[in-house]
Amino acid sequence: MNARHVALFMPSMRGGGAERVMLNLVYGLVERDVQVDLVLAQEDGTYLSRVPEAVRIVDLRAKRVLTCIPALRRYLVQERPGTLLAAVAHTNLAALVARKLSKVPTRIVIGIHNTFSIASQGAAMKRSRALPYVARWLYPYADGIVAVSQGVAEDLAQTVRMDRSRIEVVYNPVVTPELYQQADEPLSHPWFANAGSAHAELGDETVPVILGVGRLSAQKNFPLLLRAVAKVREKRPVRLLILGEGDDRAALEALVHDLGLSDCVALPGFVDNPFAYMRNAQLFVLSSDWEGLPTVLIEALACGCPVVSTDCPSGPMEILDGGAYGPLVPMRDENALADAMLASLDKPIRGELLQQRINEFTLDYATEQYTKVLHL
């Protein structure tokens, strides 16, 4: 068994914050000459093309994470990595069960990327509602537990009745050299037609562009953002871009129409490079009902884009240092969100100040913390 042989276990590499974070960690580990296997329940997803050649991709060929346990057990028996890092709730459970069945000494480190108590209660996640109970039984068998924020760590300890001292907090490796390179790439979207300017012309007016990024799902509460934008439009012209894809697309498109926003709201879907949009947008808004450590909020700061966020559990309060780097507003309050957006558009925080906040979220810093957790 090679202690510097690490397996990272994910459901897939479809576009999303957790997948992007794990891909960044792959880069950081490879740079430190760690042997990395990317173990996927299903070899699928936009980010596969970005996996470094030095990384071996292992496809367990399973339709669901929990059905890949036999294949994961075989992988552990045959390859015997020093440590396996699982990244999301169902992969955590599958990894712990597979290690128990395999009887190999591979260390299992589990990652908690979301506010556990809330994420396991969603109406669309009925299978997840048993997670707290199963986690109380299985999580104590983990060799390491990593939470992406202090809020997530506190919530996990309370929800699964675990000693808080067992949980380490490591902020996600979000800010990379590649992020800055991509942020400087040109945009072809007509709303950013003015040669990299953060504005688009509409008649004689300069119209600011507001940006939202994330999966089109209940968690992100984009209806709140749309209703807030409708209120902002009563005071001044703005445009809204929401980048992402998901099951709520049809409902969001209907709401855009009902609110009379069809001329100023666009939902172009998932884009491979959201950072160029963050660099050029006037304002980034996170409207979520819950998070773990919202990667997009950190990315927007790194791109120098002013931000407004709901004060949801968990992460925005920590990232924005209690509001020092952008307004925090109550969840599900469209009036407060609209007021904060108007204030930020009128008096934005300077990009240089925003970028001072990101040191703890850089690839180098986070990878160094992970090497300690992974015993490398």
Give the chain's domains with CATH numbers. 2-169 (3.40.50.2000), 178-359 (3.40.50.2000)
- CB-hemisphere CA count at 13 Å for 149? 24
| pLDDT one-digit tens code per residue, 307-344 | 999 999 999 999 999 999 999 999 999 999 999 999 99
Place of tokens 């109970």: 133
Looking at 120-269, list the stretches that DSSP marks H as alpha helix, in order from N- to C-terminal side.
131-138, 150-159, 177-183, 222-233, 249-258
Structure token digits, residue 339: 């007021």
Q: What angle do CA 82, 86, 91 make, to 5 degrees?
A: 130
Q: What is the pLDDT of residue 56?
A: 98
CA 164 to chain centre: 23
Residue 122 has pLDDT above 70, yes or no: no
pLDDT confidence tier of residue 120, bands split at 50, 70 and 90: low
Section 351-366 average pLDDT: 92
Dihedrals φ, ψ of 96, to 5°? -65, -40
CA 103 to chain centre: 33
Q: What is the pLDDT of residue 194?
A: 60
Q: What is the pLDDT of residue 201?
A: 42
CA 280, 171, 313, 160 dihedral sign is positive
Structure token digits, residue 68: 């890949």
Residue 127 has pLDDT above 70, yes or no: no
pLDDT confidence tier of residue 2, bands split at 50, 70 and 90: confident
Smallest Cα–Cα separation from 266: which of 306, 293, 226? 226
Question: Residues 307, 297: contact at Cβ < 8 Å?
Answer: yes
Q: How far apart are the first and last CA of the chain?
A: 13
Which 8-state DSSP code applies to residue 196? T
Structure token digits, residue 305: 């884009």
Q: Is 84 helix (H, G, I), strand (E, B) or coil?
A: strand
Section 88-104 average pLDDT: 94
Task: Give me the amino acid identity at 227.
Answer: R
| pLDDT one-digit tens code per residue, 210-242 | 999 999 999 999 999 999 999 999 999 999 999
| pLDDT one-digit tens code per residue, 261-313 | 999 999 999 999 999 999 999 999 999 999 989 999 999 999 999 999 999 99
* Global pTM value: 0.85
| pLDDT one-digit tens code per residue, 175-208 | 999 999 999 999 988 898 763 444 444 443 489 9
Section 19-40 average pLDDT: 96
Section 30-48 average pLDDT: 96
Q: What is the pLDDT of residue 196?
A: 43
DSSP letter string, 7-32: EEEES---SSHHHHHHHHHHHHHHHT
Structure token digits, residue 164: 């808080």
Percent of the chain at pLDDT exceeding 90? 81
Q: Is 38 helix (H, G, I), strand (E, B) or coil?
A: strand
Q: Is 297 helix (H, G, I), strand (E, B) or coil?
A: helix
- Three-state DSSP string of 326-342: CCEECCCCHHHHHHHHH
Tell me the helix, strand and coil percentages in the chain, rounded to 5.
45, 20, 35
Q: What is the enclosing helix (H) or strand (E) of 368?
A: helix 363-373
Structure-model confidence comparison of residues 116 and 31, the more confident one: 31
Task: Give me the amino acid identity at 188.
Answer: S
Q: Which residues pair with residue 201 across a beta bridge?
A: 206
